Copies of this chain bind each other. A is one copy, B any other.
């Protein structure tokens, strides 16, 4: 094969995919899809189609360009009918709307769960019959806004770390008040040092703990009310008293626990390595 019989080098056709020339297959269809000249100018239509398929990896809208001269290939499709064109548009609209619709489904589910939780809580706190009659007598709009407020408020309330605030005040002022020193002789007056702040864990476990604590509170409040304030006749008052008592006692215990840990941390001692020798102080 010599180029001599071609007046113009560009007329010599050799496919850059399969390397076959015009003489190898006289029926094949040729295309010169880019700015390239010379040996990469011509390519078989079918070879290039296969090559484009490979580059597009199943997404027929991907643009494909010549790897040498970077010219984008011009891919021509047959005209589409009116029906197909309408369907294509609908498909695109549905694709855009679906994420919003799915978010709506999720938000609706959450809202409905919150409404249900609120209603169950009302019946738990007021008693089954009284709770039902109160809700039936209420404006539906008030219920639709008020009931989901119940779990929201419980969770928001749980996020207020009032124990930490009291603890801070305690550590700041307790050394100055002699009565407190007398009542808690084992406290911060004896601290060997100020320990490092322990990290306020905001990890996933802490979040699930907050959520569970908030949502179980009405049940605990009802139980505590029945145990501690059995002589109170009003369901609501008894549960409220039970809830306040539980939160107060738990808070006090938590403050005590944290302060004890703080004092232990402050008074820790690092020992000599060889325990047979006396501790050097």
Chain A residues close to B by CB (< 8 Å):
29-35, 45-46, 48-49, 52-54, 56-60, 71, 73-78, 80-81, 83-84, 87-88, 91, 94-95, 98-99, 101-102, 105, 109-110, 112-113, 116, 193, 195-199, 204-205, 208-209, 211-212, 215, 253, 256-257, 260-261, 263-265, 267-275, 280-281
Copies in the complex: 2
Interchain CB contact under 8 A, B99 and A32: no
Q: Out of B29, B257, B265, name the residue touching A281 (CB < 8 Å).
A: B29
Pick the residue among B80, B88, B116, B273 that contacts A35 (CB under 8 A). B273
- Report yes or no: A270 in contact with B48, Cβ–Cβ below 8 A: yes
Q: List 25 A-B contacts (CB under 8 A).
A: A30-B280, A32-B272, A32-B273, A32-B274, A33-B272, A33-B273, A34-B273, A45-B269, A53-B196, A54-B196, A58-B196, A59-B199, A60-B198, A75-B269, A77-B265, A83-B256, A84-B261, A87-B257, A94-B209, A98-B212, A101-B208, A102-B208, A105-B211, A105-B212, A109-B109
